[in-house]
Amino acid sequence: MSKDGKGKLGTLQWLVVAGALGVAFLLSSSFLELDKQKTNHDSPPAQQEAPAFIQQKRESYTMGEYEEMYEKKLKEVLQNITGVGEVSVMVNLESTEEIVVEKNRNSQTQTTREADKGATRDINNESTQEQVVTMKDDAGEQPIVTKTVKPKVRGVVIVAAGAENLQVKAWIMEAVQKVLAVPSYKISILPKKA
């Protein structure tokens, strides 16, 4: 062989060694990934660590706190309407907030056909099982909250200086309807005494 043949063979050998190292690296990383997945699947799916965006802590409010928040914000808005003076607001809620949690659902349907002396009938059995999905954190296991529904407003009473003017009263009514999504029959607007 010539020198050029040995040089090419050496380069070819290096390429084979580099390729083998690359394949070994890919195989080892895939085995490590499989080992990580196996470790995660050892615990039941309902108790695995939740992603960071789900684990965010959320404050929970009482009915009284919600009513105070609604009253304060509504008062701020109404005092900025032309012709409205001093305002008092009272908001009454139907219930507390509703918390919706994530659930694993398993539904099964079984149909049995029975024949008896020329007559046939189908018997359907349906069953549904639900399990709340939880996550682990420092405080233990907590359910995963998918959404929180704000409480619905039962009624609103507004006593405002300037409410004796029909145009001002109409503006107040429109503002309350839009802000709280309440129908007009649940809103009472009264003029404030001098």
pLDDT, tens digit (0-9, with 9 covering 90-100), for 7-20: 555 777 777 777 77
How many CB atoms sit inside 10 A of residue 169's CB?
19
Please tell me the predicted confidence (pLDDT) of residue 185: 93
Task: Please indicate whether residue 119 or residue 78 has the higher confidence score (pLDDT).
Answer: 78
For residue 47, name the pLDDT band (cuts at 50, 70, 90): very low
Calpha distance 127→101 (Å, rounded): 21
Sign of CA dihedral 17, 20, 22, 25: negative
Calpha distance 97→115 (Å, rounded): 52
Q: Mind listing the pLDDT tens digit for each residue in 50-101?
A: 343 343 444 667 778 888 888 899 999 999 988 988 999 999 888 777 777 7
Q: Is the pLDDT of residue 182 over 80?
A: yes
For residue 29, name the pLDDT band (cuts at 50, 70, 90): low
pTM for this predicted structure: 0.49
